[in-house]
Structure formats: C-alpha cells, structure tokens
Chains A and B, each alone.
Chain A
C-alpha cells in the first residue's frame, strides 16, 4: 500500500492531509452553528453536515498517519499540529457570518468537493479511492442542499438576494486556491493518485454558473485570488479556530471519555 519511493510517500502524505484539513476545518466552522441555527430543522441539518465532514476527515487523517509511518493517530494530526502545519484552503476557515454567508461558503466548496470525490474513486491509491467512494453519497446531498439554499436566497426576497450576493462577492477571492497546482499536486496527478485539477475546475465552474443563474445571482469576475493555505499560511481567523478546537486536547493531554 505505502509507496516505497520516499519522495512520493511524502507527497502522498501532504496530499492526503490537504484533503483532510479542508473538511476538518469546514466541519469545525459548521459546528459553531450547533444550537444557534435559524430554525430547529436547519440546526439539525447543519450539524449532520458538520459530522459528515468530520467522519470523512477522520478516515483521511488516519490514512495520512499510516502513510507518514511515524505512528501519528488521527487525533494527533487533528489536534496537535501548529497553525502553519494545517494545509486547508482559506475558504473553509472564513467566519460563518449570516446564514447566506455560511451557505455560499459551503456551496462553493461542495461544488468542488463532489466532482473531486467522484474522480478520486478512480484513484490509483486504493485507500483514497475507498474513502472517496464513501464520501460521494454525502457530498451529493451536501451540494444538493446548499444549491437549494443559494437558489432560495438569490431568488427570494430583496434582502435575501442582497445578502447572498454580498457573501458571494466576499468569498469569491478564496475560490482560486481550490484549483492551485504545485509540485505535490503535479506528482500526485502524474502518479494517477489525484485527478487532473482542470477537469474538477470545469465541473465546479459549470455547477456554479448553473446554480447562480437559477438564483439570479451574479458571478463575480475573477480578480485577485487569495493564496497560501496549502503552504500553511492562513488568514487571521485560523488561530482562533484552532484555539477552540484544540484547547481540551492540549489542556488535558491523553484524556478520554
């Protein structure tokens, strides 16, 4: 299972960690809504979504630990890294804002996550393919639900439309990072482990156009795109997320219940 070529092994570790960190941090953000949802039904739906992401992150973190081969567990990787060692995109660490902001953030991610998971089921890495196979069903539902909300907000009242458009305009600058390439991704793509990112972007763009058109929202023009997350350079929000996420583990090392 583990590639004997050490270069590729470390790229595989980094790649797996990136997949994991995106949904780990998004899950943590969505979890902040627990008990604060706009209506009871949405509160439950959003918590379900957060737990779906967390479940997938656990599988990926466990696998990353195995690939690394230094005995780090899913918990070690989730809770005992420093900020610069997290490789998630900045999109998922952006604050929840209002419900439109939360849903637009999830929609922009879901539209990327579903085609990525679908393509990953054909990965040359059997473990990643298996994890992706499990995620596809959940990701399908996530995209369906967030798309519905975008359409509802956009094609709803004047205020909901304006809030959804504001969220879209605010978050658009974080979407470029989803499709960045670097040496790690190139190596993974060459090895047939990662799908080509261009095809994922095409699928993402098509979904975004389709849903925004139905929602009567305007697709922002591509201008400056944020970068840095994959290298561990995060926005100012990341430290606060980690402080909340890690504080029990760090205050009571090894605690279990």
Chain B
C-alpha cells in the first residue's frame, strides 16, 4: 500500500447476511469516505466468495460498547439465578415445537 493512506476516511463496521431470513453478522471493518463507498468496498472485501446477499454498514463511532471493567457487576450476578432459565416450567403434554 502506498503511504498516502487517507487517515481521514472514517472506519465502518460491516455486517453481512449470508442467507435470507438469517441475521446480519459482524464480519469486520474497513475504511470508506461515506456509506455508499463503504457498501461497495464491503461488497468487494467481504462477499467475494458468495458469503452474502445483504450488507449493512455502520460507522464505527456509532457503536457504543460496554466496558470490560464493568464485567463483574454486569454479568456475575446472573451466575446463581438459574430460575431465570425456562427449564423450571413444566410443559403441557403434547406441546410441540418448543
């Protein structure tokens, strides 16, 4: 790559739907000047081997993440609350597709 890589192009997160009906999965990120270019670049970078039939692009700056240091207070309290799992319900006889 040449050294003039434009650092002023924002970063975009790319989500690809592999099949109609499935969810869009995060596949990676790339640089582009705007959304149109991000979609075209995503087409060339992430769908070359028939990986997808739909593309979503989101500017990376619009993604807000939880902080690693919050992990204990966020997730650990769920450890001893097994009653939150639906396994405690008794299913009526003959109920299908559950």
Question: Residues of A with Cβ closer than 8 Å to B?
Answer: 35-45, 48, 141, 144-145, 148, 152
- Which residues in A have their C-beta under 8 angstroms from that of B4? 38
Question: Residues of B with Cβ closer than 8 Å to A?
Answer: 1-2, 4-6, 9, 30-33, 36-37, 40-41, 43-45, 48
> Of the candidates A38, A44, A144, A152, which one forms a contact with B44 in the assembled complex, judged by CB atoms under 8 Å apart?
A44
Indicate if the CB atoms of A48 and B40 lie closer than 8 Å. no
With A148-B36, A148-B37 as contacts: A39 and B31 at CB distance below 8 Å: yes
A211: min CB distance to chain B, Å: 15
B35: min CB distance to chain A, Å: 12
- Which residues in A have their C-beta under 8 angstroms from that of B6? 38-39
8 more CB-based (< 8 A) A-B contacts, given A36-B1, A145-B40: A37-B2, A39-B5, A41-B32, A44-B41, A45-B41, A141-B43, A148-B37, A152-B37
Indicate if the CB atoms of B2 and A152 lie closer than 8 Å. no
Indicate if the CB atoms of A39 and B45 lie closer than 8 Å. no
- Which residues in B have their C-beta under 8 angstroms from that of A144? 40
- Which residues in B have their C-beta under 8 angstroms from that of A145? 40
A160: min CB distance to chain B, Å: 11
State A44–B32 Cα separation when bound (angstroms).
Answer: 13
13 sampled A-B residue pairs with Cβ under 8 A: A35-B1, A37-B1, A37-B2, A39-B6, A40-B31, A41-B44, A41-B45, A45-B41, A48-B44, A48-B48, A141-B43, A145-B40, A152-B33
